[in-house]
Amino acid sequence: MRASRKVGIVGWGVYVPKWRIKSEELARGWGRDWNRYAAGIMVEEKSVPGIDEDTFTIAYEASINALKRARIDASKLRAVYVGTESKPYAVKTTATMLIDALGAGGEGRLTTGADYEFACKAGTEAIQSILGLIGSGMIDYGLAVGADTAQGAPGDALEYTASAGGAAYILGPADKSVAVIEASLSHVTDTPDFWRRQHERYPAHTRAFTGEPAYFKHIMTAAKELMALMGTTPEDYDYAIFHQPNGKFPLRVGTRLGFTPDKIKPGLITPYIGNTYSGSALVGLAAVLDQAKPGQKILVVSFGSGAGSDAFHIEVKEGIGEVQELAPKTMDYVSRKEYVDYTTYARYRRMIRMLHDFSAY
């Protein structure tokens, strides 16, 4: 898909909570030997949201960082979409809080706002929508956020990866951008590899079925179709970012498509912070933009269970160097960390009922 008016990234920002838990500690909690799983998951530690953090607070700080790089006033934002599968409220849009906290849409708050849900690709779906609004000339600037405090049931394999964090992207006209989205493409089918039913706290997944027919099929289809549209090959790209449910899948899907690991690793952040779900590919893209140089080409392909992929062909423009230092970088947040044990993790994630939950207290 190509907009009639070219659209690009004006600013980007990331947030990752400071708390971490080591995979070894998670395994210990369930009497398991992490060494048996390490090679299959390739995530050594994951971020844990503080007890006072959630998708809104993560989205807020990522958005503030994006605004610093965009060097525009929040009043110019006319679309604010938050992609997440861990909404603070089942019904009350996270975007409403974000719009008011940022002052989007000016004093009159004249902006559209919504939450998007498409498992791990809700954030890139938000980008697709804003691409259309700016590309058609309806608005000039919009904010798309992918953020999650991801759920993984205690004791489940997902517990090793489900983490917290997010990334925010301010999109605008290409001539105001530091990276232009030359084209995008989406591929969606009914593939039930992972879901969470209404009122359930944790998702269910179909183990090996989440691989071939879901993750690999959708990412490869979207990537190949986009490269066909653009007339490009893997050699044309300097960086490739794929959704990162673990440390292994992105390297495997990239290699299959023909990308060398050195093009994938700069945007591969999951091994250090876990899978931030809606933030996953977008945090990876932010890590690449933090270091990208004018003229470089980037391929981004997200994946959301259920299932689908969004693919983007991005070209970095002059001026990116001026904004890279204007806000904390992805690796600043990745390296800011303090480890917690399983008990603290369970308390921060509200996985256990606490003293104050009991009416007799």
Instruction: Show which residues are catalytic.
Output: 85, 120, 243
SS3 assignment for 290-313 = CCCCCCCEEEEECCECEEEEEEEE
Looking at 47-55, 247-255, 279-287, 315-323, which segment touches another protein (CB under 8 A)?
47-55
115 binds another protein (CB under 8 A): no
Count of residues touching another protein (by CB under 8 A)? 26
State which residue, 84 or 184, has the beta carbon closest to another protein. Answer: 84
103 binds another protein (CB under 8 A): yes
State which residue, 262 or 357, has the beta carbon closest to another protein. Answer: 357
195 binds another protein (CB under 8 A): no
Site for another protein in 4-33 (CB under 8 A): 18
With CB under 8 A as the contact rule, the residue among 53, 159, 193, 290 that binds another protein is 53
Q: Report the run of H or E that residue 189 belongs to, with start and end.
A: strand 179-191
Q: Report how far residue 214's alpha carbon sits from residue 203's, in angstroms, rounded to the nearest whole number.
A: 16
101 binds another protein (CB under 8 A): yes
Residue/partner pairs of 33-41 with CB below 8 Å, 24 or more apart: 37/157, 37/160, 39/248, 40/246, 40/248, 41/157, 41/160, 41/161, 41/246, 41/247, 41/248
361 binds another protein (CB under 8 A): yes
190 binds another protein (CB under 8 A): no
Looking at 98-106, 190-198, 210-218, 240-248, which segment touches another protein (CB under 8 A)?
98-106
Closest to 342 (Cα-Cα) out of 351, 331, 334, 333: 351
Token pair of 282 as six digits: 């977008």
Buried b (16+ CB within 10 A) or exposed e, 239-268: bbbbbbbbbbbbbebbeebebeeebbebbb
State which residue, 39 or 358, has the beta carbon closest to another protein. Answer: 358
Q: Report how far residue 13's alpha carbon sits from residue 359's, in angstroms, rounded to the nearest whole number.
A: 42
State which residue, 256 or 336, has the beta carbon closest to another protein. Answer: 336
110 binds another protein (CB under 8 A): no
Q: Report how far residue 75's alpha carbon sits from residue 68's, in angstroms, rounded to the nearest whole number.
A: 14
224 binds another protein (CB under 8 A): no
Q: What is the DSSP string of 55-97?
A: HHHHHHHHHHHHHHHHTS-GGGEEEEEEE-SS-SSSSS-HHHH
52 binds another protein (CB under 8 A): yes
154 binds another protein (CB under 8 A): no
Token pair of 356 as six digits: 């104050």
Cα–Cα distances in angstroms (integers) from residue 15 to residues 62, 90, 284, in the given order: 5, 23, 12
With CB under 8 A as the contact rule, the residue among 45, 54, 148, 310 that binds another protein is 54
100 binds another protein (CB under 8 A): yes
Looking at 46-54, 174-182, 191-199, 216-224, which segment touches another protein (CB under 8 A)?
46-54
State which residue, 212 or 332, has the beta carbon closest to another protein. Answer: 332
CA atoms within 13 A on the CB side of 182: 17
Site for another protein in 318-357 (CB under 8 A): 328, 332, 336, 350, 354-357
Q: What angle do CA 308, 314, 316 make, to 5 degrees?
A: 155
- Using CB under 8 A, list all residues that contact another protein: 18, 50-54, 56-57, 60-61, 88-89, 97, 100-101, 103, 328, 332, 336, 350, 354-357, 359, 361
